[in-house]
Amino acid sequence: MGHGHDHGHAAHAHPHASATRAFASVTLINLAYTALEAGYGFHTNSLALLSDALHNLGDVLGLALAWSAAAIARRPPRGRHTYGWRRATLLSPLANAVLLMVFSGALGWEAFRRFSAPPDIPATPVIVVAALGILVNLGAAWLVRDGHAHDLNKRGAFLHLMADAAVSLAAVLAGVGMATLGWAWLDPATALLIAVVVAVGSWRLLRDSFDAAMDAVPGSVDADEVGAFLRAQPGVAAVHHLHIWSLGANEIALTAHLVRPREDDHDAFIDATVHALDHRFGINHATLQIERGAGCGHDLHDAAPHHSR
């Protein structure tokens, strides 16, 4: 039997270095804006500003988690952590999503309480501070835009920032409505809208991050298609013990047993197959075990492959 490993480190040498700098910048920018917005929210007694500040505080905490995860993921494999600390980038979005769901519930409850007797809110500070929030959040989202489609950690931060920009726009419109029409109920209504936006925007992230933490097949990979591809390779009679999961941001692992009775160069076959898996499916950490017939080899499910550099 034979074994093959392909980890694709040349193309992914330091994927977390730029992410760490981006998360650091975004976290500090949002922390400063959150403090400013909360101060004006307390000064004007505006639930729209206070709720948006609370939402932004949740995002700051979430961004801090993402920042920490990106930094931790750079630690090399050693000792008992043979894969390194890459999974930190999968656990951070899960904690982030749970945090935002809790905040959305708290905001919704307070908004409902205020509908019965909405206080008079000075509209101009709401408009100015919320407009500043649009610029801050769009700028911060631009800093983490690279790779957010494939990096769950970055996607969580990007979605939160874009949602924040939309919520700040709603706050601006509410301020305009209060100033021109005198509708005080727009303040708690905006807070309720913020709660709904947070809950809806967090649900998919919560689902995806939970799946990743439970070693589910990444959404970008069709397991049946991968199995069919492996069975179609030259000389392969059967495929079993096929497992596909996320190691971390931009890293997908695969283990499989391939029954291949043919007596030829298994090393060349494995090299070609793992490169094809990377090119076609984005699976850049593949471990293949060749068996010459049924009943050979060991189940890789019992011992995950070691990571090496």
State residue 114's pLDDT score. 79
Q: What is the predicted pLDDT for the residue at 202? A: 78
CATH topology of domain 2-7+217-291: Alpha-Beta Plaits (3.30.70)
Tens digit of each residue's pLDDT (9 = 90 or more) over 21-46: 666 777 788 788 888 888 888 888 78
Is pTM beyond 0.75? Reply is no
Written as six digits, the tokens of 28 are 């500090």
Q: For the sheet containing 238-248, what is the strand order?
A: 2-6, 285-291, 251-259, 238-248
DSSP lists the bridge partners of residue 110 as: none
**How confident is the model at residue 92, as a pLDDT?**
73
Secondary-structure class of domain 17-213 per CATH? mainly alpha
Between CA 147 and CA 128 the distance in angstroms is 32
Stretches in the chain below the pLDDT threshold 50: 1-3, 6-15, 295-309
The pLDDT assigned to 271 comes to 92
CA distance 207 to 96: 12
Q: Which two tokens stand for residue 207?
A: 């689902």
Query: In this predicted structure, what is the pLDDT of residue 288?
Result: 93
Identify whether the C-beta of residue 134 lies closer than 8 Å to the C-beta of residue 169: yes
Bridge partner residues of 240 (DSSP)? 257
CB neighbourhood size of 234 (10 A): 10
pLDDT value of position 254:
95
Domain spans in the chain, listed from the N-terminal domain onward: 2-7+217-291, 17-213
Express each pLDDT in 105-154 by its tens digit.
877 887 888 787 777 788 888 889 889 988 888 887 787 666 555 566 66
pLDDT value, residue 223: 93
Output the pLDDT for position 283.
Answer: 93
The 3-state secondary structure of 10-47, one letter per residue: CCCCCCCHHHHHHHHHHHHHHHHHHHHHHHHHHHHCCH
Residue with tokens 């790779």: 147
